Amino acid sequence: MAAQPFEVISQHRCFGGSVGFYRHEAVSTACPMRFAVFTPPRATSGRVPVLYCLAGLTCTEETFMIKAGAQRVAAELGLMLVTPDTSPRGLNLPGESDSWDFGVGAGFYVDATREPWSRHYRMYTYVTQELRSIIEGHFPADPDRTGILGHSMGGHGALVIALRNPDRYRSVSAFAPICAPSQCPWGRKAFTGYLGPDLGKWAAYDATELAAAVTDAASRPPILVDQGLADQFLPMQLHPHLLEEACRKSGLRLTLRSHEGYDHGYYCISSFIEEHLRHHAGLLKG
The residues that are catalytic are 152, 231, 264
- Give the span between the Cα atoms of 227 and 179, in whole angstroms: 11
Cα 4–Cα 124–Cα 279 angle in degrees, nearest 5: 85
Which residues, in sequence order, are CB contacts of 108 under 8 Å at separation 6+? 123, 153, 156, 157, 181, 187, 190, 191, 194, 205
Other CB atoms closer than 10 Å to residue 218's CB: what's the count? 8
The per-residue DSSP string of 109-131 comes to T-B--STTTTTT-BHHHIIIIIH
- Are 234 and 204 within 8 A, CB to CB? no
Q: How many CA atoms lie within 13 A of 277 on its CB side?
A: 22
As beta bridge partners, residue 26 has: 31
Handedness of CA 125, 126, 130, 132 (dihedral sign): negative
- Give the span between the Cα atoms of 239 and 102, in whole angstroms: 20
Q: How many CA atoms lie within 13 A of 121 on its CB side?
A: 26
Q: Is the peptide bond before 116 cis (omega within 30 degrees of 0)?
A: yes
